[in-house]
């Protein structure tokens, strides 16, 4: 859900402030060019009226493909992924991507993010299609999860959980 009071700016420092982030070197504007007559000061995000809502476990039937909705909070409280179980394809949005996972935003929750990572490692994902960057395979997904858990929940790595590149999960 879009919060009209948050992240509704194209000004770098203002966006960093709204998100509660300390981003040195943020450019003054997040765009390089604007169309004639565009007023950056009046830019707003307008919420679309939903035609339906999705809950964890709901299915979206596209005819030749069925996607299961997975509520995977942590990055944000409403983070949702779509999982094509037949193909092993995870459309992950901002939940997991091949970069530093952001969990210090104003609505992030590290404990929920850890639970999300533990849930992801148990899914038979073969390919991740993230919201940022290039797709990656299961082995890379497990490496990203292990790296995150080493940082945010190292105590879990000494328990009976098996995370990391040696545990490739279901083939």
Task: Give me the pLDDT at residue 134, please.
Answer: 97
Task: Give me the pLDDT at residue 147, please.
Answer: 95
- Which residues, other chains included, contact 137 with Cβ-Cβ below 8 Å and sequence gap of 6+? 126, 127, 128
CA distance 118 to 115: 5
Task: Give me the pLDDT at residue 159, please.
Answer: 46
Rg (CA), the chain: 18
Using CA atoms, how far residue 55 sits from 27, 70, 114, in Å, is 37, 8, 20
Over the stretch 93-122, which tens digit does the pLDDT of each residue have? 999 999 999 888 888 999 999 999 999 999
CA distance 76 to 71: 10
Delineate the domains of the chain, giving CATH numbers in brackets.
1-51 (no CATH), 59-157 (3.60.15.10)
Spell out, as residue ranges, where the chain has pLDDT lower than 70.
1-8, 157-171
- With b for 16 or more beta-carbon neighbours within 10 A and e for fewer, the 23-51 pattern comes to eeebeeeeeeeeeeeeeeeeeeeeeeeee
Task: Give me the pLDDT at residue 41, please.
Answer: 78
3-class secondary-structure state, position 59: strand
First to last CA, the chain: 35
The strand pairing partners of 129, in sequence order, are 91
CB 128, CB 135: distance < 8 Å: yes
Can you point out the beta strands (E) in 107-148?
A: 127-130, 136-137
pTM (2 decimals)? 0.72
């Amino acid at each position: 859900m879009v919060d009209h009071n948050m992240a509704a700016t194209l000004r770098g420092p203002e966006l960093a402030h709204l998100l509660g982030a300390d981003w040195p070197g943020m450019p003054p504007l997040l765009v390089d060019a604007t169309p004639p007559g565009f007023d950056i000061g009046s830019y707003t995000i307008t919420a679309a009226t939903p035609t339906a809502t999705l809950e964890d476990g709901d299915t979206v039937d596209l005819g030749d493909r069925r996607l299961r909705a997975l509520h995977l909070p942590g990055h944000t409280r409403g983070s949702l992924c779509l999982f094509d179980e037949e193909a092993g394809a995870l459309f992950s949005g901002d939940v997991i991507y091949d970069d530093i996972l952001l969990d210090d935003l104003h609505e992030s929750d590290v404990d929920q993010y850890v639970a999300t990572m533990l849930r992801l490692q148990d899914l038979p994902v073969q390919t991740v299609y993230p919201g940022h960057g290039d797709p990656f395979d299961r082995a890379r997904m497990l490496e990203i999860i292990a790296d995150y858990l080493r940082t945010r929940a190292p105590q879990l790595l000494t328990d009976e959980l098996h995370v990391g590149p040696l545990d490739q999960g279901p083939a």
